[in-house]
Amino acid sequence: MHPLAQSLGRREVPLRRDRVPSGLHPRRRRADGDDDRNQRRGGPLSLCHRPAPLPAPGVGLVDQCTLQLEAGARLLTDDEPQLPTDDEPQLPTGAEAVDRTAYDFCEARLLGPTTLDFAFTDLVCDADGRAWACLGGIEGRRTELWLDEGYPIIELYTGDTLAPERQRKNLGVEPMTCPSNTFASGDDGEIPTRLEPSQNLSTASGARLT
């Protein structure tokens, strides 16, 4: 779900044979995060879910923050090494290991001028089945976002393609149930979640400030 729509209320709407509504059930919020549930009634439905919180460092730019994300690989796109624009789709072309590269944040380190607009996968989960993305601000505050195993991919975005006054003010953190362009590519292992009639999908994510 896009950040601009994330705070809007949702309601259940009647189903029709000639259309698919964008919201089947309202979002349910838990004390420590979001619990998103979708249920399919009728024929099969392919579904890709991706909420997108935007943690801020508090003061200054994300360049001055530390970032930690335990991920084994990032998805490559067809516009590398050029910086994409909002008008250019980024289509995945493969994956590469991040170990000992500029995109290795398994240990917390200064983000600096690194440009991020990539999806990361092979996420490392803790004993509770949660992967974590942690942003440390210059004032000592720390924003921690978690996602459950229903989200095998997480996109990080430093905002370099936004208007100059908005660039690198926040870090976009977007849990994803499947990569971009999956509906078109249908790559093995990267297909959207397919819900049969009466099946349910439940994913959870949340955040905390320390």
What is the pLDDT at residue 3? 47
- Does the residue 130 lie in any domain? yes
Q: Residue 108: exposed, middle, or buried by beta-carbon count in 10 A (0-12, 13-18, 19+)?
A: middle
pTM of this prediction exceeds 0.75: no
On the question of pLDDT at 173 being above 60, the answer is yes
- Does the residue 84 lie in any domain? yes
* First-residue to last-residue Cα distance in the chain: 25
Q: Which residue has the higher pLDDT, 25 or 62?
A: 62
- Does the residue 65 lie in any domain? yes
On the question of pLDDT at 206 being above 60, the answer is yes
Cα-flanking dihedrals φ and ψ of residue 62, to 5°?
A: -65, -15
- Does the residue 185 lie in any domain? yes
- Does the residue 103 lie in any domain? yes
Other beta carbons within 10 Å of 208: 13
The number of distinct structural domains making up the chain is 1
158-167 pLDDT, tens digit per residue, is 989 889 988 9
- Does the residue 171 lie in any domain? yes
67-117 pLDDT, tens digit per residue, is 999 999 999 987 665 555 555 556 777 899 999 999 999 999 999 999 999
On the question of pLDDT at 169 being above 60, the answer is yes
Q: What average pLDDT score do residues 15-44 get? A: 46
What is the pLDDT at residue 134? 93
Query: What domain range includes position 172?
Result: 42-196
CATH code, domain carrying 118: 2.70.98.10
- Does the residue 2 lie in any domain? no
For the chain, what percent of residues have pLDDT higher than 70?
Answer: 60
- Does the residue 50 lie in any domain? yes
On the question of pLDDT at 125 being above 80, the answer is yes
